Structures are given as structure tokens and as C-alpha cells.
Structure 1
Amino acid sequence: MAGRPITGSQTSGIPKAPFKRTYTDGELYSSVTGYKSMAFGAAGGLDAVLREDIEAGKDVTTTIDPAIQRAAFDGLRGRQGAAVALDAETGNILGLVSAPSFDPGSFSGNSKADERAWNQLKDQGLDGPLRNRALRNVDNPGAAIHVLVAAAALEKGLLASVDTPTHSPAVYAAPDSTTEFSGDPAHCTDASLRMALRHSCANVFARIASDLGADALASIALAFGFNQDKMDTPVRTFESTWPRKPENHAQLALMANGLFEVKASPVQMAMVMAVLANGGNRVHPQMVTSPKTSVPAQRAVSQRTADQLQSALGASVSAWVPSASVSWALSLTRSPAGRPLAIAVCLTSPTSPAGPIAQRIAEADKR
């Protein structure tokens, strides 16, 4: 990391397996490295995916920025969730943290102590520290998905700009349904996209979904990276899903508010913000510097749509709580040197908002 090795090896004293994996700051980087154990195999990160290169003695250079990684790790300490920070122009993953974390060095050997440490982690099940929430947790994004719906409204010509009134009642009922979506009457009645994004106006985005239709929204979701079943960083990221054919208007309106069967990983939501910071181009997220992992950028939306939404969002952190169990925060910011940073934070069973964590990560990018 930044020229400093975070993994190594030491003699094990066992002829058949003479070397044992070692980790520096194991908890800090476990969501990147995963683990490699003499007794329990390798999984969860670069140690498993790039095993052949590593065992052949090749150096693996990651894209992780230690200061950003530390800020994300410290911000998530004591919480359950994940944080991802992307360089929006290159796709380089500068920070990737899953919490709670674990120390892969505590069970990298073949002793009784290693076995106890492994069993303690394994006994915590699928929601325990061994689950990489940054790459492999998908949740309803809730109102965080409004950014994508706003992009669809601009890109498909439904609204001329982020300041065009949407003619939305404070309480909007989906066609042929009793399902209603409401917003603060003072801010959300006939709100522009700028106001609707700022105040999480469910009524506005439900109305936009009905006016655009399922196909238009699905095409934009696909352009932003949803429904990709094989997205490797090179560690595989679980698929973020956008239903292509909702059964009725109520389901479509729910989707436009990040509910129903819309599911997103923290990496995916960071990609959504990166598109806006990168002039409408979608870059592939990666955490190693290698020509083998390089994927050309793809046009997701126009430069004008990206600029409009950047104007509406600004550089400040925005946070949403779509349910009692999940809190999201997304951020766009630039370092003093001009590097564009896209951040996504997701807390599950939150005891506090995700916004301050995203702000902490943004402030750590001093390059």
C-alpha cells in the first residue's frame, strides 16, 4: 500500500508447508486481502483471486490509498456496514472497508490458536466479519437511487433541466393503485430535481417513473452498471439488480424510490456517483494496478446530464434512510489537486447516520 507491503510470509516449521502468511495491519486491509490460511484455505480477497501470481513471487500493487482506507475504517469502527471510495476518472478503488473486520493473521497458521480464532469468526455466520460487505452485500438503496432516476429524467428529455418544475402533488398515487408516495409539502410540491434530490421527495420520483416508464428507467440503470452478473475488481462483486419488467405502476414507483427488488452494493452506488464526476462516463472499479484488469470507460449519460446533476448535488454529503435498518450516504468531492472522489457508505442496523463517515473519508483525500 503506497509502496509499503501489507502481506508477507514467515517460516512455519512444517516441511510440507514451510511458509505461513503474515499480515501488517490485518484488520485495516482484510476487505482487500481476504485471507490465506494453512488450515482453512484462501478466500474473500486478493490473496485468493491472485493466488497464482502471489505464489509465483510477483508483487501485487493495489490502488488503495492508506489515508482514505484508514478514514473509512475508523469511521466504521463499532458499526456494521461498508464504505467504498473511487477515483471517478480511473475507477481506482482508493478505499474499501467492510465492518466489522477481522485479522487474517490470527488464523493463517495451523495451530490450536489459529483454529480457535477461525472457529470464533466462522461461528458468527453469514453476517459476521468474514462477509465482505463492500463487495458482497446488496441492499435497497432507498432514496439514494433518486440520483439515477433524476439522470433518466434529464437524459430521456422528460425535464429540460434540474430546475424545471415537475408538477408533482405532495401526495402522488401510482396509476391503477392505492399506493401513495409523499414528500414534505413545503419543499416537494411541484419540486424541481434540485429540490427533490435535496429533500428526498418520494412523490416526485414516483411521478417521474410513471411518466418515463419501465423501459426508460431500466436502460439508464443498465448504463450505470446494474444487472452486471460478472463485475470483477478483480475480486468478484455481487450483482446489483434493477428489475426490467415490474408488474404494475406501484412496483415501478417503489423502484424509483430504491425499494421493491432494486438492490445495490456499496461499489455500485459509488459507481453511480463516479459517473456524474466523470462527465457521464462509467469506469470499471479496480483495486490492483494491472493491464489485465483495465476496462475502457463507457458512456452512461451525456456530459450535460452529468454536469446538471453535479450542480444539483454539489460537493456536500447527502444521507438517506430508506428503512429502519439501512442508512446510505453518497458524496462527490475533489482533492486539493483536483482528483474526483466518489464515495458510498452503507450502514446496516445503523445507530447513527452514514453521512459523517462519508464526510470523514472525503476530508482524508489530501492528494
Structure 2
Amino acid sequence: MSLRKRITMHDHAAEASLFKRRALFTFVCVIALLSLLFANLYHLQISSYKDYTTRSNDNRIRVVPVAPSRGLIYDRHGQLLAENRPFYTLEVIPEKATNLDQSLIELSSLIALSEDEHEDFFKTLKYHRRFKPLALKNRLTEEEVAIFSVNQHKFPGFYVDAGLKRYYPYADLLTHALGYVGKINPRDREMLERNDQWQHYAATRDIGKQGVEKFYESLLHGKPGHLEEEVNNRGRAIRTLATTAPEPGKDIVLTLDLDLQRKAVELLAGRRGSVVAIDPRDGGILALVSSPSYDPNAFVHGISSKAYSQLLNDKSRPLINRATQGQYAPASTIKPMMALLGLEENVINEKTRIWDPGFWQIPGVEHKYRDWKRWGHGWVDVYHSIIDSCDTFFYDMAYKVGIDKISNFMEPFGFGTTTGIDIYEEAEGNMPSKDWKRLKYNQPWYIGDTISIGIGQGYWTTTPLQLANATAIVANKGTRYNPHLLKALKDENITLDTPIEELPPIVLKNSKHWDIVNEAMRQTANKSRFTDAKYSAAMKTGTAQVFTVAQDAEYDKDSLDERLRDNALIVAYAPYENPRIVLAVVLENAGFGGANAGPVARALLDEYILRDDWKSQ
């Protein structure tokens, strides 16, 4: 059988066409892949060059923030009130410490660590990020620093940090005016982040907490600088590449007079009370004293829980700023202003006289409102009503004027509202009205309420600062200034005074009415406390009841608990012709105002007026 070979015919044209298509497809794929490669290289090397350079540098360069130096605080005569002093703190980075508990035991044999320091450290450690440093002991002595430095190799993760801390050289003398700085807490951080200020505190652990330190924090803090350090793969610094110096905080000058402040504290001698002194020519605060006080330096480095609890639970309430937050019945110190109202409303005039038998009654009502002088003052005009502090005269005036006019008239004098002083710790006090009582107690206003208001009692409360400010307005015959503590900003050798803020004046229908009440206050001073003074002065005392005495009962201080006794008050200014200082003194539970607060006011005016007169000679 014959075999036939199958002969296959090749289509060379078709094969060539297929080869070309495959080659073209492969070429296109190669070109696309190369294009993608070059595009990616372009993105890495050109488009994102700065980004990746920065990322690379971040692995090699570390930016370390540098804290600014806090601004200093001076009194009006250039005496330093708040400064910065070097300090040493023993700190630990928890994640770098080996066997933290055992390390602390061994460390205690070298450096004394109190129970409070142990307790506070572990309490904070629970909420602390372990890679960040945590203070173990503040205020190391130089000896302790030397001892630790020799033994530091035994305590990995532990180190000594040096820096500047706020220091108040006069301790508790100025606490309620200056305030203090303290550690930044979560609430502070939240506030700073909300105000987009947190970046300025990257190197700072402290912030103003009270008083001037808090109010002028933005001026005092300054702006941080930074160091750029080259680091190795273990994060250790190799060299410093660049330095941007921090901008120190502004130095500020206050209106306070340190010598006057010291004298006021000395005169109060730890008694509960307050002294406020104002320069009526511009509203500058000369003295702002709240007693008892406390040492603010304890808060700078972190006060212990035990020490803070003692302050918080102290019955004398040293943490309260009595000058701006203490609320007291103004008593007879407001009688000059009440007399102004009576004169303005034509309820009385310069010659008006009433008979005072020792009490006053609402027409048709049996209840008697007693005068402090049980047998009365006899015939009394506007001058003697202030000089002798006749309650009956002002009972009658308040009844005729009414609470609405009293409340409206007293508002421009600053009662019932904050004065605007440049610290945050200030109470409004209370200038009552019909609407206020309805909102507060859901009760109507009674005529008897008005009678009590007429002598500065009842629902009326005021702070010593408000009382001093209102008296300054009377002394200035209507000219008003915002009470303030900031006098000037200090920059190297230049001191720039801050502008004085004058408020719209109080304009009376008859300007002579100012002269009447000021003359009555001058005669009050001449009759009692300032009879032998080498300068002219004006004053008005007050004795404020802390609780109500029954209708026919007598006030017997010896049988009362000490804290139920009357508060003693006085307002005064000098010289009478051209006032340079206005005072308000409040002594809690001290008794009669003239006998107890009077000597304090006299000594302070002597200190200020006679010292200035001596210097001008």
C-alpha cells in the first residue's frame, strides 16, 4: 500500500501579520510600563521632592521647642514683685526606666522623697503618656543635684532638668492681686487649643492661674523658640543645626504701691478683712489686700493635695479675694450717696431738718425702725445726718424716694455690677430692685425692704472694691475711671504708660450737691478720726449687721458667736481739696466701724500722704 505524505502549505503573509501585531502589542506594553516608571520617578524625584526631603529630615532632624522667659512684674516705683529664678527638677521618662518601683526605693536612699511626692507621682502616672517626662521631685538643692549626677548611671530614664520658675519674693503680701502661675492642666490645654494658642506652649509647663498673672498671660508668656538638632537612629543628639531664640514675655508695671500694700497687711495683722486703695485721678489701684492670705510660691511647683486641702477647708477662706469677691452690706458708708439722691429728687435740700426721737415708723404701721442711737439725735439736717450717721433721716428719705429710684441712681456708681478691674476674680455684689426680688425669691417687694436699703442693709451687698470706686466718684464729683492694676509696659529701658480709660461722668441736676456731701464727709473726719491730722481728709464709717436683732432686743457682742458680730467699715479720701488716695476698709466681725476700721484708715492715709509730702519737699 502506498503512503502519501501530507503536504502543509504555510501562509507567510498571515504569519508575518500576526508577528507584527504581537510585537506591536509587546512594544506598547513596554512603553506603557516605562512611562509609568518614569512618571513615578518624576513624582518621587521632582513633584514630591520637598515632601520626601522633609520626611527624610524628620528621621534625621529633631525640632526641640525652647521656652520663653516670662515677663517680670514691678510696682509703680520699680520694685520687683514677681521674678524668675533657676530651678532643678528630678524627672523620669517611665518607658525608659527599668523596674520603676525598685529604682524609686534606691533613689530614696540618696535623695529624700516625701510620701506626698510618691503619692502625687503615681497618681499622675496613671494618666500620663509613658514616653513623656514626668516630674518626680521639684526644687532640688544644688547638693541633691550633685549627688544624683554622680549616681545617674544607676537610674536609666531619670535625669535632672534645669530651667526658670516664677518666684514671688514677697510671698503672701500680694497674692490676691498678682495671683500665681501653675502647671498646665487638661482644662488649660483645652482652652488653649480652643483659642489656637497651644503651639505657643510646646515648651512651657506653666500658665497664669489667678490675678494679674492670668489676666495678662498673653503679655507675660512670650513666644517660644526652637532648636534644630541632628539625631542618630537612636534619637540621640549629634549636633545643633539651627537656633531660633525665644521671644521673652513683656515686663509690666502695676499701679500698686508696695510700701502701702505692706502697711495695710501689717495693720490688718491677719484679721479677716480687706483694704482697697485707689488713686482717684486715674483709677489706678494703690493697694489691694485680702486677709488672711497664702503663699503663692507653693502653687508654682505644684502644691501637695494635703496642703491644698488645708487651704480649701480653712474657715477663714484665705483662697477668696475679699477685696473683689467678698460681699458685704455697705451700711452707713453709702449715706453720702443716698443724700445725693435725696437732694437730686428734691426730697430734701440743704436746709431740710427732721426730728429724730431714736426711731422711725412707716405711716400707719406700729413697727419701729430703730436708730443706732436709741434716744435719737433730735433735729437733724443733711450735714448732721452724715456726720452723726443718723439712721432715721435716711429711713425717711428712702421711704419717700422708693426702691426704683435708689436702684437706678446707684447703678452708675458701680453697685450691682463688676467694676471691670483687670483680674477675673470679681463678684457683682447686689443692688436690689423689685424685679430682682421677684426673680430671686418669687416674692413682691415690700416697703420695709426699702427702709433697710436706705441705711445700706437688707439685700444690698457690695465688694470693698466697689465701695472704694463709688467713693472715688464722690470725691471726684462725678468723674469716673475704670479701676485698673496695669500702669505701663516695660521694654528694656523704655516704659510705655497704658492709656487711662475715663468713663462718662455722672452729671447731677445741681452740681452744688456734690459739695454738700463732700463737705459733710470732711466734717465727719474733722470731728473724729482726723482731728489732729496734718492734712485735710473726708470719711464715712459704717457698722453692718451680720444678722437681724429682734425688735426690742439689744445688740450684745459679748454674748454672740464671734462670726455673728457686726462688720466694721470705713471709706475715706485725702487730701480733701485735691484727692490723691481713696480708701475702703472692711473688717469682718470687728464691731463698730469708727473704732475698729477707723485707725486702719488713718494709719494708711498718714503713710501715703505724709510720705509723698516728705518726698516732694
Contact 1:317 / 1:359 at 8 angstroms: preserved in 2? no
Aligned match of 2:598: 355
Instruction: Tell me, in whole angstroms, the C-alpha distance in 1 between the residues paired with 2:343 and 2:507.
Output: 9
Aligned match of 1:123: 313
Instruction: Tell me, in whole angstroms, the C-alpha distance in 2 between the residues paired with 1:335 and 1:62.
Output: 26
Instruction: Tell me, in whole angstroms, the C-alpha distance in 1 between the residues paired with 2:362 and 2:220.
Output: 55
Distance 1:10 1:38, change over 3 A: farther
1:185 Cα shift? 6.9
Distance 1:80 1:136, change over 3 A: same
1:28 Cα shift? 1.4
What letter corresponds to residue 292 of structure 2 in structure 1?
P
* Greater C-alpha radius of gyration: 2
Instruction: Tell me, in whole angstroms, the C-alpha distance in 1 between the residues paired with 2:251 and 2:399.
Output: 52
Give the stretch that moved more between structures: 204-213 or 67-76. 67-76
Distance 1:313 1:21, change over 3 A: same
Per-residue displacement from partner, 1:11-50 (whole Å, max 9, x unpaired)? 3334879432100212211121012223886433111111
What letter corresponds to residue 600 of structure 2 in structure 1?
I
Instruction: Tell me, in whole angstroms, the C-alpha distance in 1 between the residues paired with 2:505 and 2:597.
Output: 29
Structure having greater relative contact order (Cα 8 Å, sep ≥ 6): 1
Aligned match of 1:285: 483
Aligned match of 1:141: 330
Instruction: Tell me, in whole angstroms, the C-alpha distance in 2 between the residues paired with 1:202 and 1:114.
Output: 50
Aligned match of 1:259: 457
Instruction: Tell me, in whole angstroms, the C-alpha distance in 1 between the residues paired with 2:260 and 2:448.
Output: 40
Per-residue displacement from partner, 1:166-209 (whole Å, max 9, x unpaired)? 45554211346444223337763341121111222111111000
1:317 Cα shift? 4.1
* 2:542 equivalent to 1:320: yes
Aligned match of 2:448: 250
1:5-154 equivalent positions in 2, closer than 5 A:
5-14=80-89, 18-38=163-183, 42-56=208-222, 57-110=249-302, 117-124=307-314, 127-154=316-343
Per-residue displacement from partner, 1:301-360 (whole Å, max 9, x unpaired)? 534222211100102444322222311111121299x44321110111227711111111
Instruction: Tell me, in whole angstroms, the C-alpha distance in 1 between the residues paired with 2:179 and 2:365.
Output: 47
Gaps of 5+ in 1: none
What letter corresponds to residue 338 of structure 2 in structure 1?
V
Per-residue displacement from partner, 1:197-255 (whole Å, max 9, x unpaired)? 12221111110001112222112211211122x43210132112211227121100001
Contact 1:179 / 1:250 at 8 angstroms: preserved in 2? no
Give the stretch that moved more between structures: 294-303 or 70-79. 294-303
Per-residue displacement from partner, 1:273-301 (whole Å, max 9, x unpaired)? 11121022232211112587843233235
**Root-mean-square deviation over aligned CA pairs:** 2.6
Distance 1:220 1:79, change over 3 A: same
Tell me the SS of whatever aligns to 1:94. Answer: strand
Contact 2:357 / 2:375 at 8 angstroms: preserved in 1? no
Distance 1:105 1:97, change over 3 A: same
Distance 1:176 1:268, change over 3 A: farther
* 2:579 equivalent to 1:346: no
Per-residue displacement from partner, 1:32-87 (whole Å, max 9, x unpaired)? 10122238864331111111211111112110112321221111112000010111
Contact 2:79 / 2:258 at 8 angstroms: preserved in 1? no
Distance 1:143 1:23, change over 3 A: same
Give the stretch that moved more between structures: 294-303 or 276-285. 294-303
Distance 1:24 1:114, change over 3 A: farther
Aligned match of 1:174: 362
Equivalent residue for 2:513, pick from 298, 305, 321 = 305
Equivalent residue for 1:296, pick from 488, 497, 502 = 502
- Percent identity between matched residues is 23
Tell me the SS of whatever aligns to 1:24. Answer: coil
1:107 Cα shift? 3.3
Instruction: Tell me, in whole angstroms, the C-alpha distance in 1 between the residues paired with 2:305 and 2:576.
Output: 44
Contact 1:107 / 1:117 at 8 angstroms: preserved in 2? no
Instruction: Tell me, in whole angstroms, the C-alpha distance in 2 between the residues paired with 1:335 and 1:196.
Output: 20
Instruction: Tell me, in whole angstroms, the C-alpha distance in 2 between the residues paired with 1:281 and 1:262.
Output: 24
TM-score by length of 1: 0.89
What letter corresponds to residue 82 of structure 2 in structure 1?
T
Instruction: Tell me, in whole angstroms, the C-alpha distance in 1 between the residues paired with 2:298 and 2:275.
Output: 24
Contact 2:279 / 2:582 at 8 angstroms: preserved in 1? yes
